Amino acid sequence: MKKIDYFQIIQKYLKPDSLAYYIYLPHVILVTAKALKIAKRLKLDEKQLRFIEEAGMLHDIGIAKVKDEKLGLNGNSSYISHIIEGEKILEAEGLPKHARIAKNHIGVGISKEEIIERGLPLPQEDIFPETLEEKIISYADLFYSKSHGKFWQEKTFAEVKKEIAKFGQRHLIVLEEWHQMFEN
């Protein structure tokens, strides 16, 4: 498997002197570091570790296509659409496995029913992290924000749990399962 130059891809979509890049980079570095720590604890092999590093660094690349003034982004899509936009970008870059992580890293996953009920601008299908690598990156992502002044701070599990609880019992059950799998 050829090593991916993820910085080249990031800089292709986010200008290094932009606010979005300034926020994106610490976020993906911290998420990737946490994901790699978990992967090493689970004794994943070098190929899996390299993939987690690459996919972790690229998981939010879809923000380049969204509109979010706080992040200095002037795209055409709503923020939640960054998962679909990221999938498209990474597919176009010839990275289908990385694209799956960009798409599937939405919390602990979201069901077709939840998408319809909330009227979200997403495909009407189940979007769940399925592989171990997808779950690890999705879990690590829950601990870091892109909010100004907070993106260097890791949330506690209690804080993550409180945020996830807003989405219902199914989400809490999955979070607890991941916590047991990855932290114990």
* Residue-wise DSSP of 132-143: HHHHHHHHHHTT
Q: What is the pLDDT along the chain (184 residues), one digit of tens a residue?
A: 678 999 999 999 999 999 899 989 999 999 999 999 999 999 999 999 999 999 999 999 999 999 988 888 888 889 999 999 999 999 999 999 999 999 999 999 999 999 999 999 999 999 999 999 999 999 999 999 877 667 678 999 999 999 999 999 999 999 999 999 998 7
pLDDT of residue 3: 85
- 96 close to 89: Cβ distance less than 8 angstroms: no
The tokens describing 124, both together, are: 């009407």
pLDDT of residue 169: 95
Every domain of the chain and the residues it spans: 6-183
125-130 contacts: CB < 8 A, separation 24 or more? 127/83, 127/103, 128/104, 129/101, 129/104, 129/105, 130/100, 130/104
CATH architecture of 6-183: Orthogonal Bundle (1.10)
pLDDT of residue 133: 97
Which of 132, 175, 171, 138 is CA-nearest to residue 157? 175
- 139 close to 157: Cβ distance less than 8 angstroms: no
**What are the CA-CA distances from residue 36 to residues 20, 47, 110, 137 (Å)?**
24, 12, 24, 9
pLDDT of residue 37: 98
**Predicted structure pTM score:** 0.94
CA distance 68 to 70: 6
Q: Does residue 8 come out as left (phi exceeding 0), alpha (psi in the -120 to 50 range) or beta?
A: alpha
